[in-house]
Amino acid sequence: MDLDVLNMFVIAGSTLAIPILAFVASFLLWPSALIRIYYWYWRRALGMQVRYANYNDYQFCYSYRGRPGYRPSILMLHGFSAHKDMWLSIVKFLPKNLHLVCVDMPGHEGTTRSDLDDYSISGQAKRIHQFVECIKLNRRPFHLVGTSMGGNVAGVYAAQYPEDICSLTLICPAGLPSTTDSKFIKQLRELQESKRIDRIPLIPSTPEEMADMLKLCSYVRFKVPQQILQGLVDVRIPHNEFYRKLFLEIVDEKSRHSLHENMSKIKAPTQVIWGKQDQVLDVSGASVLASAIPDCHVYILENCGHSVVVERPRKTANLILEFLALLHSIDNSKKQA
């Protein structure tokens, strides 16, 4: 074989081998780095840009796509111990001309974490209002979406700052009393009785505990490799102390039923989406909301757990779009009447 041809194959082989070896090394040795790269790539692929906003000495980290237009902007609030990138699975199915904003909740990811901050649900709602004012999102009423803890905050926000929003989507929101205890609530009671409250099921510190948390939160059984489970744990462990503090704050008496206490003040058209097989927050909460909020549209998703955003992203995105289209149609009818 010609020496130049041989050299060409060697160079080509080396060029291919380097990224493959780097990927394998990252997967085996630094799975947490691979997870961060994954989110970075996904954000870029979907056109989401990361920005920071400052309110005095407090910093908010958020991602966005599009610009404010004739349709309402959409602000998304994630759940406990998650981050803004959890919404990427939904963003994938939303039109690119919609103005979307996903913010890291107080103390999470790139948003300021302070021991002096108020992490109660009302305290978080106040912080989100500061963020909204920082980026002038409330120049026009916007659509607010929240899931789990973020759903609790979103509901309280809608009650406390009604002039800011035009409509509301609550996905398996926390903050409601339930007539039926979920599997998670039963686990918490057992841990309290055995005085092992430090082992909160939503705060894993081993790959095995991470696998258990995923089973608790999802009806769909995802096959997650051990290395990825380890990476997910590695990413969370440095924050677990904060998550424990936050958890105790949001289950405290002044926050535990915040959404329920503010339901009567919610005047915006409201959409509720809940997984029928939710093991974290029982689906009976949907009927509680429906009976208290006048203009409430409820959708129960079959074969779906607490992680609605991950398990049924296309369906969730479509429901939000259909809800906004319905409200737009109703608004037009009123103007023509």
Instruction: Give the whole-angstrom CA distance, residue 63 versus residue 84.
Output: 7
Active site residue 234: no
- As given in the structure block, the two tokens for residue 9 are 């194959």
DSSP 164-210: GEEEEEEES-SS---SS--HHHHHHHHHHHTT-TTS-TTS--SHHHH
CB neighbours of 241 closer than 8 A, spacing ≥ 6? none
**Which position among 85, 104, 164, 278 bears the catalytic label?**
278
Contact by Cβ (8 Å): 68, 99: yes
Instruction: Give the whole-angstrom CA distance, residue 147 versus residue 112.
Output: 21
Instruction: Give the whole-angstrom CA distance, residue 226 versus residue 173.
Output: 30
**Which position among 32, 63, 148, 307 bears the catalytic label?**
148
Select from 316, 307, 231, 259 the least CA-distant residue to 121.
259
DSSP 150-166: HHHHHHHHHHH-GGGEE
| The amino acid at 185 | I
Is residue 251 helix, strand or coil? Answer: coil
Active site residue 117: no
Contact by Cβ (8 Å): 249, 120: yes
Active site residue 148: yes
Instruction: Give the whole-angstrom CA distance, residue 286 versus residue 172.
Output: 8
- As given in the structure block, the two tokens for residue 247 are 């958890």
273 DSSP β-pair partners: 171, 299
Catalytically active residues are: 148, 278, 306
